Structures are given as structure tokens and as C-alpha cells.
Amino acid sequence: MSNYYIWVPIVIGVLAIGFAIILATSVLRKDSGTPAMQKVANAIFQGAMAFLNRQYRTIATLSIAAAIVVAAVLFLFSKGTDAERLTLAWHTAIAFIIGALCSGLSGYIGMYVAVKSNSRTASAATRGLGEALIVSLRGGAVSGFLVVALSLLGVSILFTAYDGLSNPQAAPALIIGFGFGASFVALFAQLGGGIYTKAADVGADLVGKVEANIPEDDPRNPAVIADLVGDNVGDCAGRGADLFESTAAENIGAMLLGATLFIATKSASWILLPLIMSSFGLLASSIGLLSVRKSAVIEPDKAAGRDPGDIAMSQLTKGYWLTCFLAAIGIFVGTYLLLRDTNAQGAAGIAPWIWYGLAGLVGIVLSIVFVYITQYYTSGTWRPVREIASSSLTGPATTIITGISVGFECVALPVLAISAALGLSFFLGSQVTFPADAGLPTAINPGGIYGTAVATMGMLMSCAYVLAMDTFGPITDNAGGITEMSNQPEAVRDVTDALDSVGNTTKALTKGYGIGSAALAAFLLFSAYLDVLFSYKNNQDVYRVDLSNIAVFIAALLGLTLIFFFSSLAIRAVSRAAQNMIEEVRRQFRENPKIMAENAEDRVDPDYARCVDISTRGALRAMILPGIVAVLTPIAVGTILGPQAGAGLLMVGTMGGIVMALFLNNGGGAWDNAKKYIEAGYLRVNEKGEVVDSHDPNGIVLGKKSEAHKASVVGDTVGDPFKDTAGPSLHVLIKLLSTITLVLAPLFVYLHP
């Protein structure tokens, strides 16, 4: 009976794609603004699509080569008959190509709609906050729903096509390539987009704000179009690919663990539950999105002094809470439908579906906790950001030192939350037992491990809504740039500024959500790798990864080192590309003084295209080396030192990646918002130069163009490659390590039987 449930994710996936098409159509029908708005928007669109076309041609070439190599390796070095090895090779290669294609497609279409949404949001801002909020959120939702729907459909259809209904135990191992392909594309998409956007951003900020004393998004800045393009290729396409591979890899990892429980129960329900939970998450996210309505937004002129950003954020928060509430209901519905008739037993007379429903609820709670922890460290309301802003009074050096200390501090609470969630979900899952003669490995607690898998899927159920909020950020950022460059009235800029500030918060929250889901999935994917080794070796010793073994110790050390070396390469790539951008902006200012002419009639437009080209070439060249290092390191360790050493690299590298990504994401976000805190006029001092309350009417405001602001801009530029290049790329790297080792486990076992 459980086999019929495979149609649930397929049908809901198709409906979600239809929903995304409806959202895209409704946004694209909106007015695209004045001719001046359209001129700026077209320049952004052309730059974004030119970069994405060149980037994806490079990624496509690398992906095809990787698929051929994977197929050849699995055919030559896996165990079994020629027919079995051929089946494994071509199934994995096709899954890899489909995963890569779906990942690229979801990012590409999502970014296309996002770029087309920016001028429509700017136009809507002339008519009010409510309409601008709806246009930007629904434009971002296209990416969110496409990402989750294509991931869900890809896994579900491959599972069915690979005889999952007749042989459910074997099918998940054949679709691991889908997750590998998604991770492979996501790594290069996130790296390339992150390098592009931060090279442009750093160049625009340091020369424009600090040296030339002109506002952000000023049309006189040659790098401003490249900066606006970068918001899309980094935050839209890159993040879309990131969360696509998150949902794909974690669905497949949970299905692999479910295949182990299939041995005990002969029920495919354990394999299908992750897909059902993802399906219900899409339904919950769609209702949450539709709950954000224009009519519910109080316009600023009627809000009795309320900040318009707070008004908009309250609507997004309402939609998120509704999504989480409905997802919680969906968890218990899903576990009841699929797990109520298995021959597993729950402790204390409580049915297994209830224990696993509670484990899924832990994942939802963790997602909420991560959102608030991230908000604490990256919002100007709380101590960390205000501390960095205050330190800017004594210059860039203390701004950087304080920001680094905040970054190190912000690791503690998330790790405690992850640890608590893993421990609690494992405990809840371990309350479910299976027949003693079921053939399950006794060296582990399969029920407990499956509990962590259900918790991971619970956290990912709100993925579509969260990604909508994330893509909302660059859309509103671009809308603000368009209103600035097209000389719109101050009231319009007030609306786009308010939405931009909300977008900065939602982007920071999404980074926290991304690394939280990756961290929770780390144990899931590590356990799935050990299960795959057990299926090949049929030896329970594979579940003991002994750090006193010299090969395992060396591999673990290499895994931790990989995290630091990869981060170094990513940040260095931004630095080199930014140097070229800074030199170009300075050259244009120096050689063409009319760009900065006092009278608007005497001014000439800078050469925006030259800066776009510098960012494009720099990003495409620089993304190759860190990507290749990330791919080859686990392969080299597994082939030279063996599968157990591969487990050591996976375990310690994942832990190091989680901690480093938390440091980079939250530290960079805190620097960014410290700058915005000053720009908003909240940093105030008394006559002695001492910091006073941000609303003290007698305080002296240190806002834009102050020395404190210049110091905060330097801190922000240091944090830019942290939070938008290296940090998000580590999300992908963590899961790439897992998918590579899962796919190539047959090679490692063949070489080290």
C-alpha cells in the first residue's frame, strides 16, 4: 500500500511548478516602471544573464566530464558481475546529469524572474509599501518553489524509474548521483556568484563611499551596475543552487537510512517518508506565502510613526510562523499515514509514528531557534552589532578586531542548539525498536539515526518559504538601486530602503537556516555513508571510525585543513578580483573627471560594462581552483587511505565546516549591519565622544560620511567575502563531501577490501 504514496511527491511537485509559473506570470504582468527605471533594470538584466550564460557553459563542461569519469570509475572498480557494474555506472551517471541539470535550471529560472522583478518592485514602491512587498516576495518565491519542486520531482521520478517500487531497498543507492550532481553544480554556482558579487561590492564601496564620498548606488560609480548584477548571481542563482542540493542530498540520505529499516519491516514507508514530508512542506510554504497580503500591510503614512521596515517584516514573520505551524501538522500526518502499520514497536506503548513525529518537530523548532540566534548576532537591535558600531569610533582596526571576536562568539549558541536537536531527535527515534532477527546491524541504533533524519526533513519543510524570503533580499536591493539611479522622489526611496533593510535581515536569516540544515544533516549523511559501506562489506566494524588508527587520523586532519584552505582560496579570489575593480574605478574617475561633474548637465556616464566584464572574468577564472580542490580531496583520501579514512575526513571535515561557516556568516553579517546601523543614524555620541542611546535627542548623530562610517565600511568589506562567498560555499562543501564519498564508496571498497 505504501508504494502508492510515491505519487504524492510527484503530483505535489508538478503542482508546485505550476504555482511558481502563476507567481512568475503575476509578477511579470506588473508595470516595469518609468523609462529611466527600465534603462537601469535592462543593464542589470543584461549583465546578470551574460555572466550566468558564461558560468553555466563552464559548469556544464565540468559536469559532463565528471559524469563520464564517475561512470567509468564505477564500472571498472565496483564489485559484482559485468551487468551489475554497468547498471550501477550508467544509473549513477544519468542521475548525476539530471541532478546537475535541475540544479542549474532552478537557479537560472529563479534568477531570471528575480532580475525581472526588481524594476517592477521599484515601480510598485511609487504606489505604496504593500504592493512593493507583494511583488518582491512573490518574485523571490518563484525561485523558492522551483528549487524544492524540481529537487522533489527529480528524486521521486528517479526512484520510480530505477525500480524503486519493486526493489525499494536497492533504488536509493542508484540515485545518489542525483545529489552529487546537484552538489557539484551548486559548489561552482555559489563560488562563482559569490566571487562576482563581492568583487563588485568591495570595489564600489571602498572607492565610492570611502574615497569619493558618494552614496551607495550612486550612478556616478562605475561599479554600481556590477554590484547590482552581483546581488542576483550570488544571492539568487547561487543560493538557489545551494538549497536545491540541500534538499536533494538530505532526501537521498534519509532514503538510504530508510532502506536499512526496510530490511526489518519489508515496508517502503521508511524510504518514502522523506519525500512525503517535503511534499507537505511545499503545501505549508504555499499557504504561508499567500497569507502575506497587500491589504494586511499598513502604509507608513497611516502607521502612526511605525518604521515601514518593521511593518513589512511583521508580515513576513507571520507567513513564516504559519508555514512552520502547518509543517508541524504535516509531519504528524505524514508519519501517521506511512508508519502506523509497520511492525516496529514504540516505547511506553506510544506508537512509532508519534515518536518520529516528535523528532520531526525538533527539526522545526531548531529552524526557528536558528532564525532567532542569527537575528541576535546580525540585527542592530542587539549587543553584537551595536558593539561593532561603537568600535568604529576608534577606526577600522578596532572595527575589524571587534567583528572577528563577535564572529568567534557566535559559534557557541548555534552549536549548542544543533547538539541539543541531534541528541533529542536521536533519543526520540531510539524509542522505536525493530524485531531482533531483522538483520539490522547491532553496532548502531538504526531507529535513533532515523530520528535525526526525520528531524532534518522537518527543518527543511519550510525551505521554499525561506528561500522566497532570501531572494526577496536582492530584489529589494536592486529596486533601491534603480530608484536611486533613476532619480525617483525621496518617498519612493524611503519605501525601497525599508524593504532593503528587511531584505538584509532575511538574507542573514537564510544563511543561518542553510548552515543549520547542513549541520543537522551532517550526522544523517555520515550515517548513510557507513550504511553504504556496510552494504558492500557486510562487516559491522565499518561503524567504528577509530581516530587512533593512523590512516583515519591523517584523513581527519586533512578534512579539517581542507575547510581552512578552501576558505582561503575563496576569500583570496574576492581580494584579487576586487583589486582589479578598485583600480578600474579609480582609473575612470582619474581619466574622465566629467563623471563627477558638479552640474548634472555636464556629467557623462561611466563605463559600467567594463566593470561588469572585470567581475565576470575574475569570478569565472577564480572559481575553478577551490572547486577542484574540494572535489579531489575526498577522492584522493578514499582511494589512497581507504573507506574508513574517508569516513574520518567526512566526519571531522563536516564538523570544521559547520563551525567555520557559522563564524564567516554571522561575523560578516554583523559587520554589514553595523555599517547600516550607522547609516541609519543610530550611532550617537555626547560632547565627550561617548556613545549614548540610539534615540537620545541630545546625542550627536554620526551617520554617512563620518569617520566612524568610513571605518564601518572597511569592516563591511572585510566581512563581504566571509558572508557571501566563503561561508555559503562551505554549506555546499559540507554536503559535497558526503555525496562524493557516497557515490565513490564502491571504488574505495574495491581498492581496500
Q: How far apart are CA 585 and CA 288, in angstroms?
A: 44
Mean pLDDT of 450-470: 93
pTM (2 d.p.) = 0.90
pLDDT digits (tens, 9 = 90+) for 346-390: 999 899 999 999 999 999 999 999 888 988 888 877 899 999 999
Helices within 126-238 (DSSP H only):
129-161, 171-174, 176-203, 224-232
Name 207's Cβ contacts closer than 8 Å, sequence gap at least 6: 221, 223, 582, 585, 586, 589
According to DSSP, the residues that pair with 346 across neighbouring strands are 432
pLDDT digits (tens, 9 = 90+) for 632-686: 999 999 999 999 999 999 999 999 999 999 999 889 989 988 988 898 888 999 8
Q: How far apart are CA 293 and CA 473, in angstroms?
A: 18
Closest CA to 192 of 238, 161, 229: 238
pLDDT exceeds 90 at position 453: yes
According to DSSP, the residues that pair with 345 across neighbouring strands are 433
Using alpha carbons only, how large is the chain's radius of gyration in Å?
25
- What pLDDT does residue 645 have? 95
More confident position, 399 or 379: 399
Helices within 29-128 (DSSP H only):
35-77, 82-125
According to DSSP, the residues that pair with 701 across neighbouring strands are 684
Confidence at 178, pLDDT banded by 50, 70, 90:
very high
Instruction: Label residue 383 exposed, middle or buried (CB < 10 Å: 0-12, 13-18, 19+).
Output: exposed
- What pLDDT does residue 301 have? 63
Confidence at 305, pLDDT banded by 50, 70, 90:
low
Give the count of beta carbons closer than 10 Å to the beta carbon of residue 348.
6
pLDDT exceeds 90 at position 432: yes
pLDDT exceeds 80 at position 407: yes
Mean pLDDT of 399-412: 95
According to DSSP, the residues that pair with 691 across neighbouring strands are 685
Residue 124, amino acid:
A
- What pLDDT does residue 233 have? 81
Task: Calculate the average pLDDT of the chain.
Answer: 89
Confidence at 438, pLDDT banded by 50, 70, 90:
low
Q: How far apart are CA 39 and CA 34, in angstroms?
A: 9
Q: How far apart are CA 534 and CA 543, in angstroms?
A: 8
| In contact, 213 and 127? CB cutoff 8 Å | no
Apex CA 583: angle with CA 197 and CA 207, to 5°?
70
- What pLDDT does residue 495 have? 87
pLDDT exceeds 80 at position 423: yes
- What pLDDT does residue 111 have? 82
- What pLDDT does residue 2 have? 62
Closest CA to 100 of 141, 73, 140, 68: 68
Domain ranges in the chain are: 2-335+352-751
pLDDT digits (tens, 9 = 90+) for 320-335: 999 999 999 999 999 9
Q: For the chain, give the percent of residues with pLDDT over 90.
A: 46
Name 644's Cβ contacts closer than 8 Å, sequence gap at least 6: 542, 545, 546, 549, 551, 552
